[in-house]
């Protein structure tokens, strides 16, 4: 219920363009001894999963702040945890960050207290998913594209278009793609279809895959219905998808660099590309709770998240891209120019980052189809309607 109210507030705040100006921290005092972070699994590693991946113990020793991590598996879980309170920081994705801002769950960040702010990718500094009316509500953490993963034995040349997963066709090995491609089992996949149409059907005048009016939305659903005939099973779990590429004869699908890197490391003939239409993607931000009990340690962690080996090593660990581009080349961790390129660093401009579709959009108030309809309609499409 609380979340519903929050979403209501969020929509309302977006409608009226409200942005509550809250007091922000002006100086960093003595560390409190701990910091509590809500994070995606695998985001904050202290060398317990794999000894080589540790970006916590050094911070704890240097700052005296013990890092307590609570992992959350979905954006909704993250918002719920932040609503409950008791946490200082959260690594929020684009679909959670604005909800947190609108619900007054996070506080503005004083970038002057974060010396490494200047090293953040200029393209992320004022990104709309954490900056509201010029006020920064967080520090960029990581971002990544949803790439097209393919089997190199079937595709000798990388596929140049997403049409391999949207249109029925014969693949380079002469056999049909029917039953051999996959799509993401989440309503946000409607945006991938819209992005494909944006390129191939300019007459629909789609300007953003997350802002679709009724006609554009209908066209996207029609494309997805056509895709349904090609897809035997939609994927929602990274490891099930990897298994399907190994055992089910799946040869092409939208995916994350995470799966691509893992399958490659197992020696399988897998590669990924961002086709001509571009791709959707995700970008996460470290945000600070409005009632954070440990603000000093929080600021120290935010600085650490930008300045340390975290950016480089997490990039390798997660198959994502650092918010600080220098981390790819300055040797602070394992990332190299090549590994960042493999994760899609150079494709930033081709990526349209995940945001929650709301009915009020650039096309007018109530002109766009809101997310809850994406959900019910995508359920229908997968059910064959």
Partner 1 sequence: MTTASAILPARGLADHLTAVFWRHPRVLLALLLTPPLLWLGVVYLGSLAALLLQSFYSIDEFSGVVKEEFTLKTYGELLRPSNFDILVRTVTMAALVTLACAILAFPIAYYAARYAKGHWKAAFYLGVMLPLWSSYLVKVYAWKLILAKEGILGWAAERTHTSWIIDGLLSIPGLEGSSLSTSPIGTFAVFVYIWLPYMILPMQAALERVPNSMLEASADLGATRAQTLRTVILPLALPGVIAGSIFTFSLTLGDYIIPQIIGNSANFIGMAVYQLQGTAGNIPLAAAFAVVPIAIMLIYLAIARRMGAFDAL
Q: For the chain, how many helices (H) and strands (E)?
A: 14, 13
For partner 1, the closer CB: 196 or 374: 374
- Shortest reach from residue 278's CB to partner 1, in Å: 23
CA distance 146 to 133: 28
- Shortest reach from residue 287's CB to partner 1, in Å: 18
Residue 103 and residue 289 in contact, taking contact as beta carbons nearer than 8 Å: no
- Shortest reach from residue 214's CB to partner 1, in Å: 12
- Shortest reach from residue 96's CB to partner 1, in Å: 9
Q: Which two tokens stand for residue 101?
A: 């801002």
What are the phi and psi torsion angles at 36 (to 5°)?
-105, 120
- Shortest reach from residue 245's CB to partner 1, in Å: 11
Sequence-distant (6+) residues with CB within 8 A of 247 are none
- Shortest reach from residue 238's CB to partner 1, in Å: 13
CA distance 42 to 55: 11
In the chain the beta strands, taken as DSSP E runs, fall at 34-39, 66-71, 89-92, 131-132, 135-136, 139-145, 147-151, 181-182, 252-255, 270-273, 279-288, 321-322, 351-353
For partner 1, the closer CB: 44 or 101: 101
- Shortest reach from residue 138's CB to partner 1, in Å: 19
For partner 1, the closer CB: 232 or 329: 232
Letter string b/e over residues 301-328, b meaning 16 or more CB atoms within 10 A of that residue's CB: bbbbbbbbbbbbbbbbbbbbbbbbbbbb
- Shortest reach from residue 232's CB to partner 1, in Å: 4
Residue 65 and residue 59 in contact, taking contact as beta carbons nearer than 8 Å: yes
Closest CA to 316 of 126, 127, 60, 55: 55
For partner 1, the closer CB: 93 or 305: 93
Sequence-distant (6+) residues with CB within 8 A of 139 are 109, 114, 117, 120, 285, 286, 302, 305, 306, 323
- Shortest reach from residue 381's CB to partner 1, in Å: 8
For partner 1, the closer CB: 4 or 61: 4
For partner 1, the closer CB: 205 or 236: 236
For partner 1, the closer CB: 205 or 385: 385
For partner 1, the closer CB: 349 or 365: 365
- Shortest reach from residue 385's CB to partner 1, in Å: 4
For partner 1, the closer CB: 42 or 370: 370
Q: Which two tokens stand for residue 319?
A: 């198959």
Binding residues for partner 1, per CB under 8 A? Answer: 3-4, 7-8, 11, 74-76, 95, 178-180, 185, 187, 231-234, 236-237, 240, 243, 246-249, 356, 358-359, 366, 370-377, 379-380, 382-385
Residue written as token pair 């007054």 = 104
For partner 1, the closer CB: 88 or 211: 211
CA distance 287 to 301: 11
Q: How many residues does the chain have?
A: 385
Displacement of CA 135 from its chain's centroid (Å): 21
- β-bridge partners, 144: 282
């Amino acid at each position: 219920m609380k979340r519903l109210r929050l979403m209501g507030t969020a929509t309302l705040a977006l409608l009226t363009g409200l942005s509550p100006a809250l007091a922000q921290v002006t100086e960093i005092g003595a560390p409190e001894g701990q910091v509590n972070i809500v994070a995606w699994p695998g985001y904050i590693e202290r060398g317990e999963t794999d000894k080589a991946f540790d970006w916590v113990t050094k911070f704890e020793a240097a700052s005296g702040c013990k890092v307590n991590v609570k992992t959350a598996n979905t954006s909704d879980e993250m918002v719920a945890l932040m609503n409950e309170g008791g946490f200082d920081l959260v690594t929020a994705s684009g679909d959670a960050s604005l909800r947190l801002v609108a619900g007054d769950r996070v506080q503005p960040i004083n970038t002057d207290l974060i010396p490494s702010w200047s090293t953040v990718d200029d393209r992320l500094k004022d990104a709309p998913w954490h900056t509201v009316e010029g006020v920064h509500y967080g520090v960029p953490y990581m971002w990544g594209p949803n790439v097209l993963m393919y089997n190199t034995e079937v595709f000798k040349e990388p596929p140049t278009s997403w049409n391999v997963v949207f249109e029925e066709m014969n693949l380079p090995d002469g056999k049909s793609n029917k039953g051999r491609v996959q799509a993401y089992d989440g309503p946000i996949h409607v945006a991938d279809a819209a992005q494909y149409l944006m390129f191939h059907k300019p007459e629909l005048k789609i300007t953003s895959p997350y802002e679709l009016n009724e006609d554009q939305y209908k066209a996207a659903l029609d494309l997805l219905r056509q895709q349904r005939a090609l897809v035997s099973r939609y994927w929602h779990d990274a490891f099930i998808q990897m298994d399907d590429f190994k055992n089910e004869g799946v040869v092409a699908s939208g995916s994350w660099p995470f799966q691509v890197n893992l399958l490659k490391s197992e020696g399988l003939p897998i590669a990924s590309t961002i086709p001509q239409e571009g791709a959707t993607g995700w970008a996460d931000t470290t945000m600070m709770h409005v009632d954070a009990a440990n603000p000093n340690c929080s600021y120290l962690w935010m600085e650490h998240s930008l300045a340390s080996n975290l950016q480089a090593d997490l990039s390798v660990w997660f198959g994502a891209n650092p918010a600080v581009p220098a981390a790819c080349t300055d040797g602070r961790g394992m990332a190299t120019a090549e590994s960042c390129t493999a994760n899609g660093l150079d494709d930033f401009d081709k990526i349209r980052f995940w945001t929650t579709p709301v009915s009020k959009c650039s096309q007018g108030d109530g002109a766009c189809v809101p997310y809850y309809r994406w959900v019910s309609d995508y359920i229908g499409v997968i059910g064959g309607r």
